[in-house]
Homo-oligomer: A and B are copies of this chain.
Amino acid sequence: MAASSGPEKIHIGLLGYGTVGSNVHSLLEQQADEIEKATGAAISIKKILVREPSVPRAGASPDKFTDNFEDILGDPGISIVVELIGGTEPAFDYVTAALENGKAVVTANKQLLSQQGFYLFQLARQKKSQIRFEASVAGAIPVIKVLRESMVAADLKSVYGIVNGTTNYILTEMNRTGARYADALARAQEWGYAEADPTADISGKDAAAKMAILASIAFHTGVGLDDVTCTGIEDVSSLDIAYARELGFTVKLLGVAKLYQDKINVRVYPALLKMDHPLASVSGAYNAVFLKGTAIDEIMLSGPGAGGRETASAVVSDIISVVARRGAPGFLEYPVAYSDRDFYPDDDVVSSFYLRLEVEDEPGVLGAIARVFGEHEVSIQSVLQKGRGARAELVMVFHPVREASFAAAIEQIGGLKVVRSAPRPIRVEGKDDE
Chain B residue numbers with a CB within 8 Å of A334 are 37-40
Interface string of A213-252 (1 = CB under 8 A from B): 0000000100000000000000000000000000000000
Judged by a CB distance under 8 angstroms, whether A301 is at the interface is yes
Please state if B330 and A324 are interface contacts (CB–CB under 8 Å).
yes
Chain A contact residues, CB within 8 Å of chain B: 27-28, 30-31, 34-35, 37-40, 134, 140-142, 145-146, 149-155, 220, 276, 278, 281, 293-304, 307, 309-310, 312-314, 316-317, 320-321, 324-331, 333-335, 338
With known contacts A300-B300, A301-B301, A302-B299, A320–B146 Cβ distance under 8 A? no
Cβ contacts under 8 Å, A141 to chain B = 299
Interface centre among A150, A309, A314 (most CB of B within 10 A): A150
Q: Which residues of chain B have C-beta atoms less than 8 A from A295's C-beta?
A: 27, 31, 140, 309-310, 312-313, 316
**A-B contact list, 22 entries, CB within 8 Å:** A28-B153, A30-B155, A31-B152, A31-B295, A34-B153, A37-B338, A39-B331, A40-B333, A140-B299, A142-B146, A149-B320, A278-B302, A294-B309, A295-B310, A295-B313, A297-B303, A299-B304, A300-B302, A300-B303, A324-B329, A324-B330, A324-B331
CA of A110 to CA of B282, assembled, Å:
32
Bound complex: CA of A303 vs CA of B298, how far in Å?
6
Which B residue sits closest to A333, measured CB to CB? Answer: B40
Given the interface contacts A140-B295, A150-B142, does A326 sit within 8 Å of B329 by beta carbon? yes
Question: What is the copy number of this chain in the assembly?
Answer: 2
Could you say which residues of chain B place their CB within 8 Å of the CB of A278? 278, 281, 302
Q: Is the CB of A317 within 8 A of B150?
A: yes
Contact B39 A152 (CB under 8 A): yes
Most buried by B among A28, A30, A31, A152: A152
Distance between A296 CB and nearest chain B CB, rounded to angstroms: 4
A302: shortest Cβ distance to chain B, in Å?
5
Residues of B within 8 A of A37 (CB): 220, 334-335, 338
Which of chain B's residues have a CB closer than 8 A to the CB of A294? 309
Contact A296 B140 (CB under 8 A): yes
Question: In angstroms, how far is the closest chain B Cβ from the Cβ of A330?
Answer: 7
Contact between chains at A328 and B331 (CB < 8 Å): no
Least CB distance from A201 to B in Å reads 20
Q: Report the bound CA distance from A29 to B35 in whole Å.
A: 37
The reply to whether B154 and A321 form a contact with Cβ atoms under 8 Å apart is: no
Q: List the B side residues contacting A35 at CB < 8 Å.
A: 152-153
Please indicate the chain B residues that have their CB under 8 angstroms from the CB of A145 in the complex. Answer: 145-146, 149-150
